[in-house]
Amino acid sequence: MALPINIEDLLKHRKVESGRIEFKKGWNPEKVYRSICAFANDFDNIGGGYILIGVEEDNGVAKRPVSGLPIEQIDSILKEIINYNNKLNPYYLPRTELAEVDGRHIIVIWCPSGINRPYDVPENVISRNSQRKCYIRSGSSSIEAKGYILDELRDMANRVPFDDSGNPDIKLTDISGLLVLDYLNKIGSKLASDFNGHNLEDILEQMDLFVGPKERRMLKNIAAMMFCPNPEKFFPYTQTEIVIFPEGVLENPNNFMEVPPIRGSVPQIIEETMRYLRSVIIRQHIVKPKDRAQSEKTFNYPYQALEEAVSNSLYHRDYRSREPIVIEIQPHEITISSATGPDRSISLNSIREGKRMVTRYYRNRRLGEFLKELGLTEGRSTGIPTIQSELAKNGSPSASFDTNEERSYFVVTIPCHEGEEGIPSSLLVPKEIPKEIPKEIPKEIPKEIPKEIPKEIPKESPKENTKVLVGSDVNVETNPKESPKEIVELAKEQGLTTLQTDLLSMIYCNPNITMKQLSLKVGISVDQIRYQRRLLEAKGISVLRQGATKNGTWSIEIISQRGKEILD
């Protein structure tokens, strides 16, 4: 069966470090099983490794075209692998794939980290009376574990990463086959092409997402993190919350805007968070120097630095914590806060220096592997150097990192490029609301909505399968003290913010209200109203303006089926 990885990535050392890949020109069970044992023990907690049989190497690099294996030997080798697996103690099952590369056949053996460490194997699996030994990886070699290393390996048996642990509450029905297939397609795995020919349980088994004996198989936590549309069902507050302080959190903590919480599987949260930051916050500044043809491009925040910081916050998060990832955006910096800090094996000085942080213990080792396959994290403790490098290339100050002795939080602060806008002007809220109403707005707004048909007829009729809600039959004051019952129910169902609820209530009660009137009554800028309309549209609620700016009317189209039911 196919493995959940692209074979070309292994041959070219893309996404998987060279120390986790071993090339064998021919089938040598004695050496191969020492390496399988070493990868299963995973002393450095790097996620196991891969053995490619039929590939010759030159200084750690695969020779192309590959040498391949004689076709007449392949069945015999696969049978021997099944037999020799029984010699690993405790029982351990590596995954295998027969692949065709450069027109020749090779065998790929995937050895994920074992959950029952330490493992041992006969020094020579071919011999009946060979002594059993434990092996670990040292660089690109497999060596025997002795002395204190063996003691530490035994101690690691009690340190199974959280994401690799079984969870009896996760059911197969909680896993989205679409998310699994999307992941396999993105990484270029052959499992994607086999997807329709196997049931979901077989696919997850091949991806090493089950744990436990056959009579009590449990899905691992990583399965819900990656492939459950609502992992907060198992890990409360798995979400990012974005808060914007236009004047700064210290300067005016009461002036802030909240973005609706971003939820979903971990990759979805990262992608949606970065989509928001890219479209709303990140801005590029291009300067054309007079003395040369090439333009100079800088960003207020480099995308890659933010992506690495956001991805790492979700990668290293303690999913037993009931705290979200909080992103605070201020005029001069962005801070990304997690409720739990780095492992205590990393000193406070190393953390605050903002350099590479190396640890052997990871809360979510498998999650890091999956995110690295998607290109969302760097892996191998290179996240912080990547952030600093991207900031330096952009000409920005270095990021800073902070935690406490108890490691109860971790804060990454990414400064804005000097001279750039940390918060786009379109998001800035006016400091003071004008005391006097502008002359063009009538002093008194009619309590009743005119029954006349607007002079301008909308060019487009409402879309099919939408419920059009126009407040022409509503007789309430323009600025209601309480939101109409229909809007309150809709807000609860769609998860609307207080601001969005207020905007819909005013439009519902008075479809003739202008943008300027809305701006004055709600206390936000016209640009911010436009932004809230985009957020509402993403939730299936279209707020449309029909006709002239002053004499036009609003209509609210409820696209979601549940929204229509509420308003019918």
pLDDT tens digits, 179-195: 999 999 999 999 998 88
Query: Collapsing DSSP states into helix, strand and coil, what is residue 216?
Result: helix
Which pLDDT tens digit goes with each residue over 155-179?
Answer: 776 778 889 889 999 999 999 999 9
Token couple for 165: 């642990």
Bridge-based pairing state of the strands 49-53 and 21-24: parallel
With contact defined as beta carbons under 8 Å apart, do 242 and 276 qualify? yes
Type and span of the H or E element at 518: helix 515-522
pLDDT at residue 460 greater than cutoff 50: no
For 370-395, what is the mean pLDDT?
Answer: 87
Burial track 514-531 (b if 16+ CB lie within 10 A, e otherwise): bebbbbbebebbeebbeb
Which pLDDT tens digit goes with each residue over 93-126?
Answer: 999 999 999 999 999 999 998 878 899 999 999 9
First to last CA, the chain: 52
The pLDDT of residue 543: 82
**Cα-Cα-Cα-Cα dihedral sign, residues 150, 152, 156, 158:** positive
Distances (CA, A) of 161 to 114, 239, 277, 316, 406: 11, 21, 31, 11, 20
For 409-434, what is the mean pLDDT?
Answer: 79
Long-range contacts made by residues 85-89, C-beta under 8 angstroms, separation at least 24?
A: 87/33, 87/121, 87/122, 87/125, 88/33, 88/36, 88/37, 88/40, 88/119, 88/120, 88/121, 89/119, 89/120, 89/121, 89/132
With contact defined as beta carbons under 8 Å apart, do 141 and 107 qualify? no
Tell me which of 561 and 382 has the higher pLDDT: 382
Tracing tokens 């060019």 back to the chain, one arrives at 459
pLDDT at residue 449 greater than cutoff 90: no
The pLDDT of residue 341: 81
Distance CA 469, CA 171 (A): 40
For 141-160, what is the mean pLDDT?
Answer: 84
The pLDDT of residue 522: 74
Distance CA 539, CA 543 (A): 11
With contact defined as beta carbons under 8 Å apart, do 17 and 46 qualify? yes
Among the ranges given (87-91, 412-416, 471-475), the one the predictor scored with the smallest mean pLDDT: 471-475
The pLDDT of residue 464: 44
pLDDT at residue 276 greater than cutoff 90: yes
The pLDDT of residue 13: 85
- Average predicted confidence (pLDDT) for the chain: 84
Cα angle, residue 45 at apex, residues 43 and 51 outer, rounded to 5°: 80
pLDDT band at 429 (very low <50, low <70, confident <90, very high): low
Residues 6+ apart with CB under 8 A from 52: 10, 11, 21, 22, 23, 24, 62, 106, 107, 108, 109
pLDDT at residue 231 greater than cutoff 80: yes
Tracing tokens 């530490």 back to the chain, one arrives at 152
pLDDT at residue 380 greater than cutoff 70: no
Query: Collapsing DSSP states into helix, strand and coil, what is residue 368?
Result: helix
pLDDT at residue 433 greater than cutoff 70: no
Of 427, 465, 235, 260, which Cα lies nearest the Cα of 330? 427
- Using the 8-state DSSP alphabet, how is residue 351 labeled? H
Which pLDDT tens digit goes with each residue over 232-247?
Answer: 999 999 999 999 999 9
CB atoms closer than 10 angstroms to residue 28? 12
The pLDDT of residue 447: 52
For helices 498-509 and 515-522, the axis angle rounded to 10 degrees is 130
Distance CA 505, CA 112 (A): 55
With contact defined as beta carbons under 8 Å apart, do 78 and 98 qualify? yes
